[in-house]
């Protein structure tokens, strides 16, 4: 039986130039990323070996780089890009990505705009 554990990293702050408006592309803004990964950590626990699990320091650097590279219009596109980066790690069976855009250009008082997607290795959504 395969064990599915969850590894979470919340609040990854990145600066990007994403958005549909020209001023968003010019000035940029902060994006905050939350990740939850489904993986089997039993081998890592048994061996106490980092090579048997996901190195979350490297993972965070890869996600940050994905957010900070070429701009896209939609947070939906950005979330998919992040999921694709995380799923390059074969140990990850599925990932839940939340992209927060706390400074979204909305003419109202609000705390956050966030999109959450879940993707599985092999391109299938998690059941």
Of the residues 24, 101, 119, 121, only one is catalytic, namely 101
Looking at residue 104, the DSSP 8-state letter turns out to be -
CA–CA dist 67, 78 (Å, integer) = 7
Buried residues in 76-94 as b, exposed as e (16+ CB within 10 A) = eebbbbbbebbbebebbbb
Instruction: Report the top-level CATH class of 5-120.
Output: alpha beta
pLDDT tens-digit readout, 60-86: 999 999 999 999 999 999 999 999 999
Average pLDDT, the chain: 93
Instruction: Give the pLDDT band (50/70/90) at residue 48.
Output: very high
Tokens of 51: 């090579």
Looking at the predicted structure, is the pLDDT value of residue 3 above 80?
no
Tallying the residues shown for the chain, one arrives at: 127
Q: pTM for this structure? A: 0.91
Supply the pLDDT for residue 115: 98
* Helix or strand (DSSP H, E) at 36: strand 29-39
Percent of the chain beyond pLDDT 90? 92
Q: Which of 3-12, 18-27, 48-57, 116-125 has the lowest mean pLDDT?
A: 116-125
Residue ranges covered by each domain of the chain = 5-120
Q: What is the DSSP string of 39-77?
A: E--HHHHHHT-GGGS--HHHHHHHHHHHHHSS--S-HHH
Grouping H, G, I as helix, E, B as strand and the rest as coil, residue 54 is coil
Looking at the predicted structure, is the pLDDT value of residue 93 above 90?
yes
Q: Would residue 64 show up in a list of annotated catalytic residues for this protein?
A: no
Query: How many other C-beta atoms lie within 10 A of the C-beta of residue 101?
Result: 21
Looking at the predicted structure, is the pLDDT value of residue 127 above 70?
no
Supply the pLDDT for residue 122: 75
Instruction: Give the pLDDT band (50/70/90) at residue 1.
Output: low
Contacts of 44 (CB under 8 A, 6+ apart): 50, 52, 53
């Amino acid at each position: 039986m395969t064990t599915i554990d969850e590894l979470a990293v919340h609040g990854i702050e990145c600066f990007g130039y994403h958005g549909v408006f020209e001023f968003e592309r010019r000035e940029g803004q902060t994006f905050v990323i939350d990740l939850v990964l489904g993986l089997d950590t039993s081998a890592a626990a048994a061996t106490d070996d980092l090579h048997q699990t996901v190195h979350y320091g490297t993972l965070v650097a890869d996600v940050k780089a994905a957010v900070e590279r070429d701009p896209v219009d939609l947070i939906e596109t950005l979330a998919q890009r992040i999921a694709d980066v995380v799923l390059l790690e074969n140990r990850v069976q599925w990932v839940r990505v939340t992209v927060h855009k706390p400074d979204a250009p909305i003419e109202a008082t609000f705390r956050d705009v966030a999109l959450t997607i879940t993707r599985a290795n092999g391109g299938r959504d998690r059941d």
